[in-house]
Structure 1
Amino acid sequence: MSAHHLPSKGHAGSPMSTGLSKCSCDMEQKRTSPQTMASTPLSCSTWSTWLLQVQWRFKDGQRRSVLRNTLSKKNRFKSNDISDLNSWQVRRWLGIQHLFCVDLLTTTQVKRGMENALFCVFCHFLADMFEELSTLSLTLQRNDLILPQAMSELRKTVTRLDGLKSRAKSGGMLEKIQTTLAQHGDDECRFQGIPLKGNLTGLTDLTHPQLKKHMEAAINIGVTELKARFGGLLNDEAEVKTQVQAFKVFNHDTWPDDLGSLLTFGDGDVADLVRHFREPLERSGCDLAAVQDEWQGLKILVSQSFKDKSYSGLWETMLTKEPYREDYKNILELVQLMLALPISAAQCERGFSAQNRIKSSKRSSLAVSTTEDLMRITLEGPSLEDYDPSPAVDRWMNSAKRARRPDYKKLWDRDILCV
């Protein structure tokens, strides 16, 4: 083989260029056959030389055959040479990942596994499981998400995932495939025209041992990762209560109806919050000594007059309406801290995406103030269906120093025709 048949060299001095250059010289001097490779220890340079010969001299089927015979003699490698032929580092360096296909499943084996009824049923179960996780993900990405709602959605998702271990989701994909299998009975069952193979016993009632094992493993992985990600939000029995958990006292839907219990409800959590946020509260002029007294009065007021209000509606009223925002201004400082908590980073990601769309290479000269205004409109403005452009158009028409002439070109064409 001549040198011009080899791949192009890499950058000068790189391992790839050095290796290929050496391989090229070695291959020009002598041909290394599989028989020679089988009778001598393989050094790194010899191995790379021979692999390049295999890559360029043989077709795909011949490559696999030659490699299979050589890879079976791994024990002949020297201790200071390549000891693991399946190393991804070696594969990338040599640039011939596709040659290491002997340890992978063949397409026939993959096809046989996908036609198994157990595999088909398990995939339908995964579809139901991922739908629950997808609902949680979409909820946590909402811009108007509040803390109690996020915690409730997390607990609901974990409960539903645990429930999937023993029963199929109502109306879900697993229930549909179970109904299909039950209708066929002992007859040949087909899924999208492909006959399913394997024993169907236990797949329709989730008593199949392998199916139950795989389902429980998948659910346990999902629940474990959720608990690891969201920590104390899913654990009421945590030894150390976090400040995020303490903010739950401001969810008036969980307040007790009994007046005696209501008077002492959340006092410890409010005290913990005041202690944790002491510095920012003092900087804002909050009277820390009056927080507990205002907390008592706020609970009685809400339970008697605002129990029917929503979570966001209640605190919007308290923070914007008189005399509430003045009478309870100290305890409302904690409420404002709670409302400012970022539940997720989805809105930040939307902001980066909006900036990339607005300030593109064709609009790179936009001023900072203009970019900020356009981003605010994009992120917080109304949807196109709800937006009425008439006020903006009227302001544009009347705000110019000279009169706007939106029909100027049309009038100009008409005047030319008249001439």
Structure 2
Amino acid sequence: MKDILRELQSLSLKLQRREMTLVDSSVHIKQTINVLTAMKTTGGRSTKKAEQGVSSGFFKDRLPESSLVQTLKALDKRFWPGEQEDLTLYGEQEVHRLAKSLGEPAGEAVGQFRDWKLQGTPPGKTLERLCIASRTYLPTSAECERGFSAVNNTDNQSRNRLREESLSSLLFVDLNGPPLDKFDPVPFVKSWIKAGHRLSSSWKPGRQREEVEPRHLWSILT
């Protein structure tokens, strides 16, 4: 049982990764099912319980594969059939369905998909947009939890007067920006200054005195 819990914990941590896609999550889930199935031959105190769970389909029923996963698999080369005959029409219905649901030209997407899988040509613009969209389906709510944490860290008691626009911009940078060790602020600072914004050091608190232009001595004598 301890080994099973360790595998499930590992699966849970993998599913919470930011780069995890819906198709990748399905691969890891099936891999974990295979590992758990193989564990029934390793012995141990929980062998009988594991055998009963596997034989009854307990793990498969708990982790079903949705039709959306089947649709997205068509855009992943790992699931393409090896035989040319099977590959000819493989995935075209799924690509057509996905394109229609996302508002893309379905016929154009299917044509580009066929050229990609049969001729090895790079995906066209329409198909490329579908591939990018297929990687945006989140397998878990971990990203939402990160967003909630970012809101709590940003909109705190010391910064509770932030405007909605400022808060939205800060959260966007926090969630989508690069790590600090890879961020180069120089281009952004230069563009900010060129846009006419003033430096924080150029502003002095308090009432400013009006500067009086000095008069020359001969202007006073005349």
TM-score, length of structure 1 as denominator length: 0.41
**Aligned equivalent of 1:385:** 181
- CA distances 1:267-322 after superposition (whole Å, capped 9, x unpaired): 34345x26xx64653xx5x2x444443332232243xx56xxxxxxxxxxx4xxxx
**Aligned equivalent of 1:297:** 115
TM-fit CA distance, 1:345: 1.6
TM-fit CA distance, 1:358: 0.8
- CA distances 1:140-171 after superposition (whole Å, capped 9, x unpaired): 1122222331111001111111222222xxxx
**Of residues 33, 38, 41 in structure 2, which corresponds to 1:163?**
38
- Cα 1:384/1:295, change in 2 over 3 Å: closer
Residue 230 of structure 1 aligns with an amino acid whose one-letter code is: L
TM-fit CA distance, 1:393: 5.5
**Aligned equivalent of 2:89:** 264
**Aligned equivalent of 2:153:** 357
Gaps of 5+ in 2: 205-222
* Alpha carbons 1:132, 1:157 under 8 Å: kept: yes
Q: How many residues get paired?
A: 202
- Cα 1:403/1:158, change in 2 over 3 Å: closer
Secondary structure at 1:142 match in 2: coil
Distance 2:62 2:187 in 1: 46
Distance 2:182 2:159 in 1: 27
Residue 111 of structure 2 aligns with an amino acid whose one-letter code is: D
TM-fit CA distance, 1:350: 0.8
* Alpha carbons 2:21, 2:136 under 8 Å: kept: no
- CA distances 1:307-347 after superposition (whole Å, capped 9, x unpaired): xxxxxxxxxxx4xxxxx32xxx3x55644542332322211
Secondary structure at 1:269 match in 2: helix
Q: Structure 1 runs of 4+ off > 6 angstroms? A: 396-400
Secondary structure at 2:5 match in 1: helix
Residue 145 of structure 1 aligns with an amino acid whose one-letter code is: M
- CA distances 1:105-126 after superposition (whole Å, capped 9, x unpaired): xxxxxxxxxxxxxxxxxxxx41
Query: More displaced, 335-344 or 155-164?
Result: 335-344
Say yes or no: does 1:253 pair with 2:86. no
TM-fit CA distance, 1:357: 1.4
Say yes or no: does 1:212 pair with 2:47. yes
Distance 2:46 2:62 in 1: 27
Report 1 or 2 for greater relative contact order, CA contacts < 8 Å, sequence distance ≥ 6.
2
Say yes or no: does 1:139 pair with 2:47. no
* Alpha carbons 1:397, 1:404 under 8 Å: kept: no
- Cα 1:215/1:356, change in 2 over 3 Å: same
TM-score, length of structure 2 as denominator length: 0.71
- Cα 1:165/1:391, change in 2 over 3 Å: same
- Cα 1:267/1:403, change in 2 over 3 Å: closer
- Cα 1:388/1:214, change in 2 over 3 Å: same
Secondary structure at 1:264 match in 2: coil
- CA distances 1:45-88 after superposition (whole Å, capped 9, x unpaired): xxxxxxxxxxxxxxxxxxxxxxxxxxxxxxxxxxxxxxxxxxxx
- Cα 1:401/1:377, change in 2 over 3 Å: closer
| RMSD, aligned CA | 3.5
* Alpha carbons 2:40, 2:51 under 8 Å: kept: yes
Secondary structure at 1:231 match in 2: coil
Say yes or no: does 1:148 pair with 2:23. yes
Say yes or no: does 1:370 pair with 2:160. no
Secondary structure at 1:385 match in 2: helix
Secondary structure at 2:180 match in 1: coil
Distance 1:380 1:142 in 2: 14
Gaps of 5+ in 1: 1-124, 168-204, 234-241, 307-317, 319-323, 409-419
- Cα 1:365/1:159, change in 2 over 3 Å: same
* Alpha carbons 1:359, 1:366 under 8 Å: kept: yes
* Alpha carbons 2:150, 2:171 under 8 Å: kept: yes
